[in-house]
Amino acid sequence: MKNVLVLCTGNSCRSQMAHGYLDFFAQGKANIYSAGIETHGLNPRAVLVMKEDGVDISSNTSNNVLEYMDVKFDYIITVCDHANENCPYIPGDAVRLHHNFPDPAKATGTEEEILEKFRMTQRMVKDYCQEFVSKNI
């Protein structure tokens, strides 16, 4: 079974969304992990917009990439430029992929405007994950 790590800065939004969708689309055919260079906790707005699409990430935890140094990954996907540029060395021969998604946690405005930024990022992450699974898992 393939091991996939999704990595971002704080493991609170984008990587958590990707974790949820990769789990959903892989249907048990891969072990999905998500982590951050730091841990910022699971963002409640990310949980909300994922739930709106039928994917429950509410029991996910915010993890630091150093917790997974003993896992042999087949794929490492960075979902923000900061993580891509600052990722610590992870041993192994994993295929490394990068896609910079907008950070919805930085959105400002009314609650509805902020949620729309989360939904926009969520849709992009969903499309990316569906394509990744169809090609690689």
List, by residue number, the catalytic residues. 8, 80, 87
Cβ atoms of residues 42 and 19 within 8 Å:
no
Cβ atoms of residues 19 and 34 within 8 Å:
yes
CA distance 98 to 83: 9
CA distance 75 to 99: 13
